[in-house]
């Protein structure tokens, strides 16, 4: 079973920041937080990941709380092309299989 | 294009037939994963390879499913005696091998959509 909880759906206005929350209250010290997204009829796309510190790349920012029990993915200036299902996943780097166990994700709809 | 590729993109088959899908990973990636995804759900892990060795298979992977990666490069997933319940998107992903206190993201192909009639 997925170890994360996400809202089923969210809306955001184009040009505004989209903030997607994720709860992972049972996360262990070895587990990374990953975010992927899946645009309709395409394969999932990696966005960002982190362990303890906040992370930023060209696509998004990842804010992880100090207790690591929750995180927020931030798309700073959402565009219509950011409409997708966003998945938050925790995965143990010590697990040699390094599986990603996916939930149902958050369907983000960017509105003009 | 140096991304993960999958062929065919779509496959329609009749129940009872065998089908085979191919995945070409990113060339320097030694890990290759297969997932299955049904409508409205996230991907479900099926199996993965470290180079040519198949290291784990999910209980979802029945005896009718077999995967190979003979030279540690491309991989094939075969489904024998297909059933209507096999209808799904089959996704392939590749990555480098995760290391000590490091991780490597998985890069996904576009998937093969299988419809069993």
pLDDT band of B101, cuts 50, 70, 90: low
Which residues of chain A does B48 touch, with a Cβ-Cβ cutoff of 8 Å?
97, 99
Which residues of chain A does B4 touch, with a Cβ-Cβ cutoff of 8 Å?
43
What is the distance between the alpha carbons of residues B103 and A92, in angstroms, rounded to a whole number? 9
HSE-up of A9 (CA within 13 Å, CB side)?
5
Contact B44 A102 (CB under 8 A): yes
Tokens of A63: 């804010």
**pLDDT > 90 in chain B, percent:** 73
What is the distance between the alpha carbons of residues A32 and B54, in angstroms, rounded to a whole number? 24
SS3 assignment, position B85? helix
A87 closest CB neighbour out of B42, B93, B102? B42
B110 closest CB neighbour out of A32, A43, A105? A43
Contact A34 B93 (CB under 8 A): no
Q: What is the pLDDT of residue B86?
A: 96
What is the distance between the alpha carbons of residues A9 and A109, in angstroms, rounded to a whole number? 8
| Mean pLDDT to the nearest integer, A87-112 | 82
Q: What is the pLDDT of residue A38?
A: 96
Q: What is the pLDDT of residue B114?
A: 98
**Exposure letters A48-78 (e unless 16+ CB within 10 A, then b):** bbbbeeebeeeebbbbbeeebebbbbbbeeb
B98 closest CB neighbour out of A93, A101, A103? A93
């Amino acid at each position: 079973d997925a170890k994360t909880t996400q809202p089923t759906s969210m809306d955001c206005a184009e040009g505004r920041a989209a903030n997607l929350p994720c709860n992972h209250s049972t996360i262990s010290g070895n587990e990374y937080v990953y975010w992927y997204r899946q645009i309709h009829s395409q394969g999932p796309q990696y966005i960002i990941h982190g362990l303890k510190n906040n992370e930023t790349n060209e696509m998004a920012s990842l804010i992880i709380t100090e207790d690591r029990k929750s995180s927020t993915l931030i798309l700073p200036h959402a565009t219509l092309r950011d409409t997708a299902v966003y998945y938050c996943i925790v995965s143990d780097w010590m697990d040699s299989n390094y599986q990603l166990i996916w939930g149902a994700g958050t369907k983000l709809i960017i509105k003009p | 294009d140096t991304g993960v590729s999958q062929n065919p993109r779509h496959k329609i088959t009749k129940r009872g037939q065998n089908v085979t899908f191919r995945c070409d990973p990113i060339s320097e990636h030694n890990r290759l994963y297969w997932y299955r995804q049904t409508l409205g759900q996230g991907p479900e892990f099926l199996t993965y390879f470290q180079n040519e060795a198949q290291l784990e298979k999910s209980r979802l992977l029945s005896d009718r499913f077999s995967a190979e990666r003979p030279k540690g490069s491309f991989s094939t997933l075969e489904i024998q005696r297909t059933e209507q319940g096999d209808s799904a998107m089959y996704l392939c992903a590749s990555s480098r091998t995760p290391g000590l206190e490091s991780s490597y993201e998985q890069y996904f192909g576009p998937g093969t959509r299988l419809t069993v009639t």
